[in-house]
Structure 1
């Protein structure tokens, strides 16, 4: 059972119709050619894998910020949260996690809090790993207020392939750390804007696991982390 669970993961309901479409196309391709049919079947398996929604074990500590996405840290730097959230316009430390088409694309809340605003903005579809994707691409932004009243921003950004951002929550929703709040279809990025004074405990190039990898710790007062690739 454990071996099966290693390879077969639950699929998010958002993926059911896409898998069904891929499967119908694969069956049609089999009528034309066995080779094309097997290619179609392989793509169907990939589609199922893309929409996988595995269980995650989230550290229980109100000081911790947890990665909202699977993928790789592509950018860390100072930036102003999206204007449509109506935050005060102060530059905050932004950590960007880039998801390729093989990563799990279910997004999870980095910390417990109340969603004060959800704001969608249409835009372009540049490669999500680029810095300009934060300002130019289609995005869906959340302002989450923590228990102490401080606010953070979490931004779902569509990428070169992605064309649909899905958000499961609305204004005034309560989220727990690691709780699912949305997904992005087929390649994208999630930005987290940390509160002033909170330093990231990750470095550019680091692999992240949504709902599990610690992004930052409000009780940590040391220097920002650096990484070494080897």
Structure 2
């Protein structure tokens, strides 16, 4: 049975490094040990991965956070979610599909809430009908996709996480426009549970 609450894959190496510092310094430098221990616990909390239950219909938000981007790109609509440091950073598939490409694109490290973040480093998951972009921020420089070309995705499936940051965008299918949106700029959303649009 899948536990209702876990941590993102790979995050233990960050936490263990902190705990490794805390153990030998516990006697010689207790304040330093306390800081290292707190950092280790903080890393695990930051990478928490709670269970989510998708609704029966709709294209879902890929990330926890607040809607920070709503814009047309040609005949497509992009919806971006800014992930604050307190948000869950495990990202999920907004809808079912087949992964055709997972493309790492180098770039800058501007704050993810700024307009300049459109030039940031990212990993774009192309599913043909739609795309999800996991975008690094000024501090977040570790994007961890869990999927690869050929994978069949289900709605709400975990597709990756961004360590210590930052933004996740969905380029919706061409059939959807701004008038179909169920969310507004600044609205809080939850990955795999909040509907961005109703399924047509």
Higher RCO structure, 1 or 2 (CA under 8 Å, sep 6+): 2
Asked if 1 retains the 8 angstrom alpha-carbon contact of 2:8 and 2:161, the reply is no
CA distance in structure 2 between the aligned counterparts of 1:209 and 1:179, rounded to whole angstroms? 13
TM-score, reference length from structure 1: 0.79
* Residue number in structure 2 paired with 1:74: 68
TM-score, reference length from structure 2: 0.90
- Given the alignment, which residue of 120, 123, 132 partners 1:140? 123
Q: Is residue 121 of structure 1 aligned with residue 105 of structure 2? A: yes
* Residue number in structure 1 paired with 2:92: 108
CA distance in structure 1 between the aligned counterparts of 2:9 and 2:158, rounded to whole angstroms? 13
Can you give the 5+ residue segments of structure 2 that lack an aligned partner in the other structure?
A: none
* Residue number in structure 2 paired with 1:196: 174
SS at match of 2:7: coil
* Residue number in structure 1 paired with 2:130: 152
Can you give the 5+ residue segments of structure 1 that lack an aligned partner in the other structure?
A: 80-89, 146-150, 220-230
Q: Is residue 207 of structure 1 aligned with residue 191 of structure 2? A: no
Distance 1:25 1:102, change over 3 A: farther
Q: Give every structure 1 segment of 4 or more consecutive aligned residues whose post-TM-superposition deviation is greater than 3 Å.
A: none
- How many positions carry a matched residue from both structures? 194
Asked if 2 retains the 8 angstrom alpha-carbon contact of 1:139 and 1:158, the reply is yes
* Residue number in structure 2 paired with 1:167: 145
Deviation readout 1:14-38 (Å, 9 max, x if unpaired):
1111111111122344344322322
